[in-house]
Copies of this chain bind each other. A is one copy, B any other.
Amino acid sequence: MEPESRIRVALERNPYDVIIGSGQLARVGDALSALQVRAGTRILVVSNPDVADHYAAQCLSSLEAAGLKPVLLTIDAGEEQKTLDTLRIILDAAQHNGLERTSLMLALGGGVVGDMTGFAAACWLRGIRVIQVPTTLLAMVDASIGGKTGVNHPCGKNLIGAFHQPSLVMIDPLTLRTLPAREFRAGMAEVIKYGVIGDPELFERLEQAEDLSDPGRMTPELLQTILERSAQAKAAVVAADEREGGRRAILNYGHTFGHVVETLTGYGTWLHGEAVAIGMATVGQLAVNKGLWTDSDQQRQLTLIQKAGLPTAWPSLNIDKVLDTLRSDKKVRHGQLRFVLPDAIGSVLISDQIRDDDVRQCLTSQH
């Protein structure tokens, strides 16, 4: 049996485990039995065609072997389908398959499937349990942990949703083998983020790795370390601050400028993780300009981002539109810009002392 590791998300009310290990997909049924899920329990497994083709059979047979009653629902789950309409499809399936209070939903897929399935589980009968089985790197290290669920509104991302913690997160690195390389690299941006905001050892481990852009060229040990450290980081922040506000805000490192890139280049040009990579590079420069961290640390960050095959250069964007977009971000308070700035590898601070001129100077000097 391959090594597995368990990370506890130590919430007061509904703590749960993140289980990480090669081959875990075949053990999801056992894990649920260990959670006292009764034999005969209905489970609505939600996935999308790409992912289901590869992994649904294994997941379903593991559940069946544990005496559970899974049914599979596949939905189209691109970002454009992350809507109330698709939510309705999941809820209809819940009704159709007779899901009761003791039933479960299980999300098998990337963040889109996870967010929608989690939200459906939050709403069905005012909340049934959900299991997250993420199959993208981004969903493994970020989206599946922490209980944020939801769908997009035509006018903005993730405007509609709920906080609904999963009962279990099951991560099988083997599923990453089929993930498109670009999607894998996008997820690496969040991994690097965890290094910068709080885990200097992870950062160094990444620096020592030969390759960061392809799971096929990484050792299983490195991949396991990456997944464990990232899940630990996310779990710690989530446990400290379940509903955002304080500490959870540091997870937005790189995301403020990243959000600007996503918005102004049109969603679809850059993947989220790519925009975050650009955002980290940019806010790192801002921190250097403000004398908060050293040029050599910024260089280490840039080198790592590039090793993961991710972009660092700020795109050419109208600076006034950039400032407008920064200000319309829902995290802005009382009109004051707030940034998460690095002050060492493994340490960030939150500042509302950044003026428009600082931003202008930083962005224009990047060209």
Interface residues of A, Cβ cutoff 8 Å to B: 84, 87-88, 91-92, 95, 100-101, 122-127, 148, 150, 153, 155-156, 159-163, 330
* A91 partner, pick from B101, B148, B153, beta carbons under 8 A: B153
Q: Which residue of B lies closest to A101 (CB)?
A: B330
Q: Is the CB of A162 within 8 A of B84?
A: no
Q: Is the CB of B101 within 8 A of A162?
A: no
Contacts of A100 in B (CB 8 A): 330
Q: Is the CB of A156 within 8 A of B84?
A: no
Q: How far apart are A85's CB and chain B's nearest CB, in angstroms?
A: 9
Contacts of A123 in B (CB 8 A): 150, 160-162
How far, in angstroms, from A88 to B84 measured CA to CA in the complex? 8
* A95 partner, pick from B84, B95, B153, beta carbons under 8 A: B153
Q: Is the CB of B330 within 8 A of A160?
A: no
9 smallest beta-carbon distances between A and B, as pairs? A126-B161, A123-B160, A95-B155, A95-B153, A126-B163, A126-B162, A84-B88, A91-B160, A162-B162
Q: What would 6 A/B residue contacts be, using CB atoms closer than 8 Å? A: A84-B87, A84-B91, A95-B156, A126-B162, A127-B163, A162-B162
Q: Which residue of B lies closest to A244 (CB)?
A: B126
Contacts of A84 in B (CB 8 A): 84, 87-88, 91
| In the complex with contacts A95-B156, A101-B330, A148-B126 CB distance below 8 A | yes
Contacts of A87 in B (CB 8 A): 84
As for how many copies of this chain the complex holds, the number is: 2
Q: How far apart are A92's CB and chain B's nearest CB, in angstroms?
A: 8
Q: Is the CB of A95 within 8 A of B127?
A: no
Q: How far apart are A145's CB and chain B's nearest CB, in angstroms?
A: 16
How far, in angstroms, from A153 to B92 measured CA to CA in the complex? 8
Contacts of A127 in B (CB 8 A): 162-163
Q: Is the CB of A162 within 8 A of B122?
A: yes
Q: Is the CB of B155 within 8 A of A126?
A: no
Q: Which residue of B lies closest to A147 (CB)?
A: B126
Contacts of A155 in B (CB 8 A): 95
How far, in angstroms, from A153 to B127 measured CA to CA in the complex? 15
Q: How far apart are A254's CB and chain B's nearest CB, in angstroms?
A: 22
How far, in angstroms, from A246 to B7 measured CA to CA in the complex? 32
Q: Which residue of B lies closest to A102 (CB)?
A: B333
How far, in angstroms, from A84 to B95 measured CA to CA in the complex? 14
Q: Is the CB of A124 within 8 A of B330?
A: no
How far, in angstroms, from A87 to B85 measured CA to CA in the complex? 12
Contacts of A330 in B (CB 8 A): 100-101, 125
Q: How far apart are A12's CB and chain B's nearest CB, in angstroms?
A: 10
Contacts of A148 in B (CB 8 A): 126
How far, in angstroms, from A95 to B161 measured CA to CA in the complex? 14
| In the complex with contacts A84-B84, A101-B330, A124-B91 CB distance below 8 A | no
Q: How far apart are A147's CB and chain B's nearest CB, in angstroms?
A: 9
Contacts of A125 in B (CB 8 A): 159, 161, 330
Q: Is the CB of A124 within 8 A of B159?
A: yes
How far, in angstroms, from A300 to B122 measured CA to CA in the complex? 43
| In the complex with contacts A84-B84, A330-B100, A95-B126 CB distance below 8 A | no
Q: Which residue of B lies closest to A83 (CB)?
A: B88
Q: How far apart are A215's CB and chain B's nearest CB, in angstroms?
A: 32
Q: Which residue of B lies closest to A126 (CB)?
A: B161
Q: Is the CB of A159 within 8 A of B122?
A: no
Q: How far apart are A133's CB and chain B's nearest CB, in angstroms?
A: 22
